[in-house]
Amino acid sequence: MPKPGRKKIEKIFLLQPPLTTHTDYSSEPKGIHPPLGLASIAAVLEKDYQVRILDSVVEGYDHEERRGRNLIRYGLSDKEIERRIASFEPDVVGISNLFSSGWTEALQVARAVKDIDRNMVTVMGGPHPSACPENVLEHPEIDFVVLGEGEESFRDLLTAILSNNFSGLDGVAWRDDGRVRVSPKTKFIRDLDSLPFPARHLLPMEKYFSIGEAFIVTRAKPFTPVITSRGCTAQCTFCPVHASWGGTWRARSAGNVVDEIEHLVKAYGVKEIHFDDDNLVLNRRRAEAIFQGIIERRLDIVWTVPTGLALWAVDEGLLELMKKSGCYKLYLAVESGDEHILRDVIRKPLQLKTVHPLVRAMKRWGIEVETFFVVGMPGETVDSLRRTFRFARSLDAAATHYFFANPMPGTQLWAECAAESYFREGFRFDDIRVERANIDTPLLSARTLERLVAREQLAGRILSLVKHPWRFVKKYLSYLKKDRRVVARFLWKNVRQSLGQRDERT
């Protein structure tokens, strides 16, 4: 902890650490998005402080370093990050840690800050530290953790640092005489329209546009993400959203959302929007107003929802409006093709009987469909897994994505795995990746799960090539265009895993 009695805080440095991904880029493709969380915090703080944002990923996108046998890190080098921080001489450094798999990189940044000046204050935020602040604050390089949404909590923390009195804070964790104290997040921003738009002027937007690589394949460029709501009403046991956004769903008004889209079109020439909401269409009337607003203002964009769409909130009437406003692809978070797993294990409020009619309707409107399935939850069996495979095939989506259920801190799944000792042998935070099975149960081992999924993926690709050869070729040409390393490495990994060979350790 830096010395108390600080007279003033003038400079705030907000930092997005480098990312790590697997060398095949298959289920974790290499890409960049502006860090909207940091940009939103910056927009609030810049009224009273000098604020700088460093997105290490975009600034060092072409710089890659090996991390183990099957991982690469891309982004600025540690030495360059230190140089950028030191040149600004900040009083406080805020570090984003979105994913548990990125915890090591975030910690390394905090260590770099303290190597520069022990009295620089380090604050870490994001889903991972929000879920396990005690673990994070075991490391002396980190002074504070901001829990959940950070705009108000970070601002209030800066005031508290000057007085060295943290007792009245909401959503902050800190050390007090060697003990970790956690003030839970209880106050969430109700009026999201009161927040300014993210401070994109503090980001090198031209670099995002010139690189032009999303985590998914895009149709038009330049593209950029937009977040219109926070939270989700569903209680899916594997999802960490409630640790960050609380247990309720809060949304910006339709007019406020369309204003931001119009600003992006006019100020930056944006042609494609990625709605990064957890639940874009939960409020039907608001969703209709957003899509109608895009049409009425004649905003020449296309859009998609890469984080997945809640099917229980969609019908054909809404699909028509979505298509007319520019929607070209939907990612459907079905999660399981087994009713028991879906209802009693995952606890997703979706009825499988509604999926096929909606998928057919999307195809009628010319909206491309890709599907998400989460496999390997406790209770999953070989039979339930095969039911999911059959259901997924029957949808005949343009692509089917199988993500291994992972025990993320702050979720019900984590608590169950901890109670039942379901963690795969040698499990660590860095292993929490959707392409690695980390749950071992008496009903289905992680290695068996990986083998079965790899075989299904190979079979699915062969079937897709036979049924839809042109669609198949276009898809893999887009991957080759994005990075020619993708296809060969991904297929080789599929072959190895389908034969039961051990996955390379990260």
Q: pLDDT digits over 270-323, tens only?
A: 999 999 998 899 999 999 999 999 999 999 999 999 987 878 889 889 999 999
Assess whether 179 and 218 both reside in one domain: no
pLDDT of residue 400: 93
Determine, yes or no, domain membership for 191: no
Assess whether 336 and 479 both reside in one domain: yes
Assess whether 378 and 280 both reside in one domain: yes
For residue range 232-280, list pLDDT tens digits in order.
888 899 998 887 888 889 999 999 999 999 999 999 999 999 999 988 9
Assess whether 129 and 261 both reside in one domain: no
Q: What does the block give as tokens for 482?
A: 């994005």
Please identify every stretch of the chain with a pLDDT value under 50, giving residue numbers as ranges.
Answer: 5, 505-506
Calculate the alpha carbon distances from 416 to 241, 274, 314, 486 in Å. 17, 33, 32, 35
Assess whether 320 and 396 both reside in one domain: yes
Determine, yes or no, domain membership for 504: no
Determine, yes or no, domain membership for 192: no
CA distance 461 to 128: 34
Assess whether 60 and 176 both reside in one domain: yes
Determine, yes or no, domain membership for 127: yes
pLDDT of residue 506: 43
Assess whether 243 and 386 both reside in one domain: yes
Assess whether 147 and 220 both reside in one domain: no
Determine, yes or no, domain membership for 194: no
pLDDT of residue 174: 97
Last residue of a domain, one of 132, 161, 183: 183
Determine, yes or no, domain membership for 196: no
Assess whether 292 and 409 both reside in one domain: yes
- Residue 121, domain extent: 11-183
Assess whether 49 and 107 both reside in one domain: yes
**Per residue, what are the HEC states of 22-90?**
ECCCCCCCCCCCCCHHHHHHHHHHCCCCEEEEEEHHHHCCCCEEECCCCEEEECCCHHHHHHHHHHHCC
Assess whether 290 and 245 both reside in one domain: yes
CATH number where 370 lies: 3.80.30.20
Number of domains making up the chain: 2
CATH number where 158 lies: 3.40.50.280
